[in-house]
Amino acid sequence: MDALALEAKAAKSEPAPAATIPVKRPKSAKKVKKKVVFFEVEIQDAKTKEKLLLLDKVEPNATIAEIKSMFHKAHPQWYPARQSLRLDPKGKSLKDDEILQQLPVGTTATFYFRDLGAQISWVTVFLSEYVGPLLIYLMFYFRVPFIYAPKYDFTTSKYWVVHLACICHSFHYIKRLLETLFVHRFSHGTMPLRNIWQNCAYYWGFAAWMAYYINHPLYTPPFYGEQQVKTALIIFLFCQIGNFSIHVALRNLRPPGSKTRKIPYPTRNPFTWIFLVVSCPNYTYEVGAWLAFTVMTQCLPVALFTAVGFIQMTVWARGKHRSYLKEFREYPTIRSPILPFLL
C-alpha cells in the first residue's frame, strides 16, 4: 500500500508536458535585382570639340559598334564604317567590338569623332587593283594600236618566253581575283575611297611598265635560254600553289562573319609547313613568285616591281608578327616575319 501511495504521489508531482507552440518561419527574402547603371555618352568633334550628340541612357554592355549605329541615326551622313571614335582627339580609333564598361571611362564618357571619309569595301578594292593589271598586260601582249609602231599592230612575238610570261602574269591575277571572291575573309570591311587611287596606280602602272618591255618587238630572251626559263617557271608555279595554300589555311581559321583571330599552324598540306618558321608565309611565297617571274623574263621593271613589293610586304609582315606576339603569349618565338631566320 505504501509503495502504491508513493507511486501515485510521484505521478502527481511530475510536470505536465509542455504544449507545442507552432513556430513561424520567416519568409524567404526576395531576390534583389541588381540595378543597372546606365552610361551617359557624349560625342564631340575631334577637331573643333563641338558637341555632336548626347546619349543619356546607354547600357554598360553596349559595344562601340552599337554606339556608332546610334550616332548614325542622329547623323545619317556618317554611316558606321565612316566613323572613328576615340577616347582622345589624337588617339587611336576604338575597335567595334570593345565594350563601353570595359573602357577607362566613368559613367559619363566622352568620345571624339573623326570622319574617315567615303568608304569602299575591300572586295571592291582588290577587284579594282587586280582587274587593271590583267587587262593592261593583255593590251600590250596583243600589241593594240598606239602602243608600238603601226607595223607591229596586232602582231605576236617570235619568242615563246613572251607567251609564257603572259600566261603566268594572267594566271597570277586571275588567281587573285578568284581568291578575293571565294577565299578571303576580311577582318576590316572597308577602306577610305581616297586610298584606292594610289593602290590602283601602283598595280596598274607597274603592269604597264613591265608589259611594255616584255612584249616589245625588240625584246630579247633571257641569257641562259630555255634552262633559265624552265627553272623559273617551276619556282613560279611552286610559289603560286604555296601562296594559295596559305590563303586557304588562313581562311579556315576564321568562321564566316566573325573577326576571330587564332595562331596559324601547319596543316597536312606540306605547303603550310613553312608556318613553323614564318609568321606570314603568304608574303614569302608572293615574293618568291615575283622573283621567279623576274628571272624568267630577265626584265628590269619586273625586278623593280619585285623589290618595291618585297619592301612593302616586309612592313606588313613585321606589323602582323608584332600583333601575334602581343596578342598570344604562347606564340612561337622561333618564327620570323617573312624570311626564315633572317627577316
> Measuring CA to CA, which residue among 112, 110, 106 is closest to residue 38?
106
φ, ψ at 41 (rounded to 5°): -115, 125
Alpha helices in the chain (DSSP H): 2-13, 64-74, 122-141, 160-182, 196-214, 225-253, 281-297, 300-327
Record the pTM.
0.81
Per-residue pLDDT band at 11 (split at 50, 70, 90): very low
Per-residue pLDDT band at 19 (split at 50, 70, 90): very low
Per-residue pLDDT band at 32 (split at 50, 70, 90): low
- Are the C-beta atoms of 161 and 297 separated by less than 8 Å? yes
- Are the C-beta atoms of 29 and 15 separated by less than 8 Å? no
Using DSSP, state whether 225 is helix, strand or coil: helix
Q: What is the pLDDT of residues 115-166, one digit of tens each?
A: 998 899 989 999 999 999 999 999 999 999 999 999 999 999 999 999 999 9
Alpha carbon 1 to chain centroid, angstroms: 109
**What pLDDT is recorded for position 257?**
67
Average pLDDT of span 13-28: 50
pLDDT of residue 177 exceeding 50 = yes
Exposure class string for 137-165: b at 16+ Cβ within 10 A, else e? bbebbebeeebbeeebeeeebeeebbebb
pLDDT of residue 303 exceeding 90 = yes
Average pLDDT of span 224-231: 95
pLDDT of residue 256 exceeding 90 = no
CATH no. of 39-117: 3.10.20.90
pLDDT of residue 10 exceeding 60 = no
Q: What is the pLDDT of residues 36-92, one digit of tens each?
A: 788 899 999 999 999 999 988 888 889 999 999 999 999 999 999 999 999 999 888
**What pLDDT is recorded for position 307?**
97
Cell of 262: 587564332
Domain residue ranges of the chain, discontinuous segments joined by +: 39-117, 120-327
